[in-house]
Amino acid sequence: MSQENRAVVMPLLPGSRSWRSLEKDNLQQLVPVVHANRWRQQGWRQQVPRRRPPLAGLDCSVNSARVQPHCSGVGITLTTTARVNEAGAFQGGGSGNKAIYGACGLDLLPLAELQHLLIVWQNQAGPAGPHVEPAQAVTVATPYLNLLVDLNAADAPAGADIRVLVCCCDQLSPAISEAIGVTSNDGSNRLTVRWRADTHGVLIVGYDGSNAPGGISPVLSNGSSWMENVFSLADLLVACPQARLVDAVSGDGGLPAAERTPALLLCSGDSGYQEAQSKWVERLEINGRSLLP
């Protein structure tokens, strides 16, 4: 058949199978064109699927506690209540309330790259600790940091050795608290907590006087409890050069039972705390990078 003959072939009858197939093909070609014309005529912008933004953090709170965005639109709020709970939600046997914000994106960060930590917060309700004016009693309600660290690194032959390091905490004796972070007040009870690797140390949860990594000794010791012994980060890295932050189930008694948490945890309260209070955290940073939504 010639080209001219093809051009005058009679159209298929509506309702036939071939017609329906042709009709479907035509519609598939037509619809995008119609939509494109409508966008141009009405000034619509074609919608492109958006990539989901990275998650800043998780609410890992235990029992009657929570983390939520602050009503100002800046930062987050750590809140606990006075509720009495049944035991079981913590790794240990506690029944208290603990607000925990887990900062995402730090899994496998070498501990050697940790240089600076920063918390800026204000009290909203409840006890506020020794750095507000007028000063109040020490309280576990003030924000502090837990770092989950694999001292062996997960691929080491000995297997993972996950420890919890504590810093930026003003809840201990003055000498110990100042050795793991410094807190300043701008005069309006807006508190800034700073930690520097070249200036401050860390506590190692569970240290009993003989189980320090690599046999290192504390640079400051006020007693036998792990809460009274400060270790230098430099010494820790000499003993464990491959140490890195990890998202993990730590086994620590003050953290959620059987829950894998992010490597950096901002906490308020503990496994025995039963008091209503709230803290507004405006900034949380690592090495100058914000960890808040």
CA distance 233 to 236: 5
**Total-model pTM:** 0.81
Enumerate residues 6+ apart whose C-beta is below 8 A from 275: 80, 82, 126, 127, 141, 269
Q: First vs last Cα of the chain: how many Å apart?
A: 69
pLDDT digits (tens, 9 = 90+) for 170-206: 999 999 999 999 999 999 999 999 999 999 999 999 9
- pLDDT tens for each residue of 13-37: 444 444 344 344 443 443 343 344 4
Domain coordinates in residue numbering, the chain: 3-42, 57-290
Say what the pLDDT of residue 154 is.
Answer: 52
Q: Tokens representing 169?
A: 């905490």
Average pLDDT, the chain: 86
Q: What is the pLDDT, as a whole number, of residue 24? A: 43
Print the SS3 string covering 151-216: CCCCCCCCCCCEEEEEECCCCCCHHHHHHCCEEEECCCCEEEEEEECCCCEEEECCCCCCCCHHHC
pLDDT at 1 over 50: no
Q: Specify the DSSP class assigned to residue 24.
A: H
Determine contact, residues 128/139, Cβ cutoff 8 Å: yes
Q: What percent of the chain has pLDDT over 70?
A: 79
